[in-house]
Amino acid sequence: MRTLVLMFFTLVLAACGNYSNDDLEFLEALPGRQDLQAQVPQDQASALALKAWLYSDTVAAAMQIDEGVEAIIDAIDLIRDRTPSGRTADARTWGPFADSDPRFEDQVVIARSAQTFNFAFSQRPVGQSEFVKVLSGTFVGASAAKGHGSLDYEVAPLEEIGHAPADPNLRSLRFVYANDAAPRTVHTTLLSRNPDNGQVATLSYVFTESAGEGNLDYDLQGQSDAGPYDVRVLSRWLPDGGAGRADGVGSLQEHPGWLLEVHQCWDARFLETYYDSQAGLAYPDGGFIFGSVPSVGCDALLGLSCPRGELRACPF
């Protein structure tokens, strides 16, 4: 995903120059990595096979967010050290300038209204007059570090002007963040197409961080050959050591009422301290029968009986 933005944006601008104080006000509205990333505690020393698997899934989800962040911030960073090609009282413009693909050229515009900043990374085929927006954002506040905003990346405009994206299955990527409230939050929504059946799945993340707790709530909704599905996991951890807990639930609409529940806790070394998994059918009258569907990670023949460990060992 790192090439999401760089594949169509190589900001080859004229020689660097000096920014005015007003130029810096525009640039300070743009987010940095720390404003958008999901910061999940990690420990490379623990053997992967011994780690709590829901913790590992949480790390993988956070890494997917951060790869998208890196791609966007890499593009934004190329603006920070270069002089705008155009200035007005409430706007700055970079370009038009040559894209890495010689068939296209690019333009970046940041506009200001009071403490609201809007920016757009746009592209057009060489020789045409109209640009199409590919990456856009809005920021409110004195600076991205003390405000809130959003970033949107869309694949369809690239395809419409004949620029093939690096990942044809990715359809869009959206970030909504708030650094001016407690806890700090980053909402990420990714739409991706299944290459096997062409169906589009939605993966949503909500990362929150406070002095006493961090958590990542991620929800995958899509369409499989067996019908619509929904899988959601909420992971929480202590910021001073990494010990945490994850609770997941999954459903498949082809089997109304079918649910899978998974609960897992880990210690400061990210090793499992508690695990339980139950599957069954829920009925309209509120009843629920566990054990009617095979569960996950619970196989006595393999020494994986459930529940295992102590629920009181969980930090939450």
CA–CA distances in Å: residue 290 to residues 257, 259, 283, 285, 294: 11, 9, 11, 15, 9
Most confidently modeled range among 80-94, 142-156, 292-306: 80-94
Looking at per-residue pLDDT, the higher value among 241 and 216 belongs to 216
pLDDT digit string (tens) for 280-290? 776 666 665 66
Q: Phi/psi class of residue 302: alpha, beta or left (left: φ > 0; alpha: ψ in -120 to 50)?
A: alpha
pLDDT digit string (tens) for 243-276? 899 999 888 666 666 788 899 998 888 888 999 9
| pTM as predicted | 0.78
Q: What is the mean pLDDT of residues 164-183?
A: 84
Q: 228: cis peptide before it, omega within 30°?
A: no
Binned at pLDDT 50, 70 and 90, residue 12 comes out as very low
pLDDT reading at 111 higher than 70: yes
pLDDT digit string (tens) for 113-160? 988 999 898 999 999 999 999 889 898 986 666 789 898 988 899 899
Res 103: pLDDT: 93
Res 5: pLDDT: 31
Could you give the percent of the chain with pLDDT greater than 90?
A: 18
Res 6: pLDDT: 30
Res 32: pLDDT: 74
Query: What span, in angstroms and rounded, lies between the C-alpha atoms of 271 and 77?
Result: 38
Query: What span, in angstroms and rounded, lies between the C-alpha atoms of 300 and 309?
Result: 14
Res 128: pLDDT: 92
pLDDT digit string (tens) for 18-54? 456 677 777 777 777 777 777 777 665 444 445 688 8
pLDDT reading at 9 higher than 60: no
Residue-averaged pLDDT of the chain: 78
Looking at per-residue pLDDT, the higher value among 48 and 294 belongs to 294
Res 145: pLDDT: 67
Any idea how long the chain is?
316
pLDDT reading at 224 higher than 70: yes
Q: What is the mean pLDDT of residues 164-187?
A: 84
Res 289: pLDDT: 63
27-36, 47-56, 192-201, 214-223, range with the lowest pLDDT: 47-56
